């Protein structure tokens, strides 16, 4: 089975902490997941610009690149301790609420914080 590859922003402290937890669970479960910091990745292989890559979580799964909340569902389904969460948030109404929360609150907030960190670094 091919590994599912997760592309994340390693310069985001919140993202890095969350990915560290996923990585730990994946290693403990022997899950076929590979975690790639977007700053060390060849983004052309992902068909993403650096700006696009920082705006959402992305996974490459079964030859497809999936972004945003559906990417989390794929990741959570691969982790035994989080499969319940993937099943729960895959239910129609809950999925819509979770997608709205991710697309309109979490992802824009994390991206704004990323842009702020970049501006301070200059």
pLDDT at residue 3, as a whole number: 86
Query: Closest by alpha carbon to 11, among 38, 34, 48?
Result: 38
pLDDT at residue 73, as a whole number: 98
What do you get for the CA distance between the two ends of the chain, in Å?
A: 43
Give the burial string for 48-69 (b: 16+ CB within 10 Å, else e).
Answer: beeeebbbbbbbbbeeeebbbb
Helices (H) and strands (E) in the chain, counts: 6, 4
Neighbours of 120 (CB within 10 A): 7
Half-sphere exposure of 51 (CA within 13 A, CB side): 1
pLDDT at 1 over 60: no
Structural domain boundaries in the chain? 4-121
Q: What is the pLDDT of residues 24-49, one digit of tens each?
A: 999 999 999 999 999 999 999 999 99
pLDDT at 59 over 90: yes
The mean pLDDT value of the chain amounts to 95
Q: What is the pLDDT of residues 65-95, one digit of tens each?
A: 999 999 999 999 999 999 999 999 999 999 9
pLDDT at residue 54, as a whole number: 95
pLDDT at residue 122, as a whole number: 79
Global pTM value? 0.93
């Amino acid at each position: 089975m091919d590994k599912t590859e997760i592309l994340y922003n390693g310069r985001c402290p919140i993202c890095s902490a969350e990915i560290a937890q996923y990585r730990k669970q994946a290693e403990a479960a022997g899950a076929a997941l590979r975690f790639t910091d977007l700053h060390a990745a060849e983004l052309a292989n992902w068909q993403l610009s650096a700006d696009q890559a920082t705006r959402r979580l992305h996974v490459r799964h079964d030859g497809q690149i999936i972004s945003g909340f559906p990417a989390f569902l794929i990741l959570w389904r691969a982790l035994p301790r989080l499969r319940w969460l993937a099943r729960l948030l895959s239910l129609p109404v809950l999925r819509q609420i979770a997608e709205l929360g991710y697309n309109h609150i979490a992802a824009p907030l994390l991206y704004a914080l990323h842009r702020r960190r970049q501006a301070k670094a200059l």
